[in-house]
Amino acid sequence: MNSVRINGTNLAYTDTGVGRPIVLIHGYPFNRSLWTEQIPALSNSNRIIAPDLRGFGDSDASPDVSTMNSLATDVAVLMDQLEIPRATIGGLSMGGYVALAFYKQFPSRVRALVLADTRAQGDTEEAKQTRAQQAEKALSEGMAGIADAMLPKLLTPETVSKRPEIVKFVRDMMLQTKPEGAAAALRGMAEREDQTELLMKITVPTLILVGAEDAITPVADSEKMQNAIDDSRLVVLDHAGHVSNLERTQQFNDAFLHFLTHS
């Protein structure tokens, strides 16, 4: 396992393949194994960097709030350490919030963007309160209750009933998350900026992917991003919910590879 010390915290990452660099940023409360099905498909012709964000997977948690800007800065420092000046930046859900924060801070370091099952808007007041409660719950009870409540929102009913291996994989990822890391990220997501204005300033080719049945960041959120980002295309994946890369692996990978070839 590769690991590097960034801003006082040990961060784990995968670095594999040769070619144009792509950074893949996982969502909440997952880790870099979210990309298990993408890494072999994409690393045939690209270099893939997939970090565990601070507080997730094999990375240490830090006591501070994990703002989207600080997580994006971690990614930029990791790229510095790996001598990668510019990359395609891809993120799923919270990873997409981090990718947008990255673009805002470091636009010249982004060759292209891949925004999967995510949105540009910030949280409503109600969502912020729910995040605060979830953060307390994670710290006092651990991740099991959060994982069980999230699963039916993350996956389609069809996946939940017919694909137990995906249910187990997603649940296990959530259970591996450190409660302190989850709480720090929940607080960071609650205070994230609304990036709607940023969308019109994005000048790099952008692929937007979303599960047709995504219950957390619905298709309408992706349509808004696609309408606002000039050089963007939207792919809606049938029979997929919020973790469309796992529920519709082949279609997700095909769309990603097609985008890389044509951008």
Query: What is the footprint of ligand MLT within residues 96-125 (CB under 6 A)?
Result: none
Site for ligand MLT in 16-55 (CB under 6 A): 27-28
Residues numbered 124-143 forming contacts with ligand MLT, rule: CB under 6 A: none
Token digits of residue 174: 């959530």
Could you give the string, one character per residue 200-239, with x where binding to ligand MLT holds by CB under 6 A and - elsewhere? ----------------x-----------------------
Beta bridge partners of residue 209, listed in sequence order: 116, 235
Residue 59, SS3? coil
Tokens of 235: 């792919």
Q: Which residues contact 66 (CB under 8 A, 6 or more apart)?
A: 53, 54, 55, 181, 184, 185, 187, 188
**Alpha carbons 16 and 215: distance in angstroms, whole number:** 32
The 8-class DSSP code of residue 131 comes to: H
Give the nearer residue to ligand MLT in terms of CB position, either 216 or 228.
216
Provide, rounded to whole angstroms, the least separation between the CB of residue 138 and ligand MLT.
13
31, 70, 93, 206: which one contacts ligand MLT (CB under 6 A)? Answer: 93
Q: Which of 41, 94, 155, 209 binds ligand MLT (CB under 6 A)?
A: 94
Phi, then psi, of 213 in degrees rounded to 5: -110, 25
The reply on whether position 151 binds ligand MLT by CB under 6 A is: no
- 177 three-class SS: coil
Closer Cβ to ligand MLT, 27 or 211, answer by number: 27
Instruction: Give the binding site for ligand MLT (CB under 6 A).
Output: 27-28, 93-94, 189, 216, 242
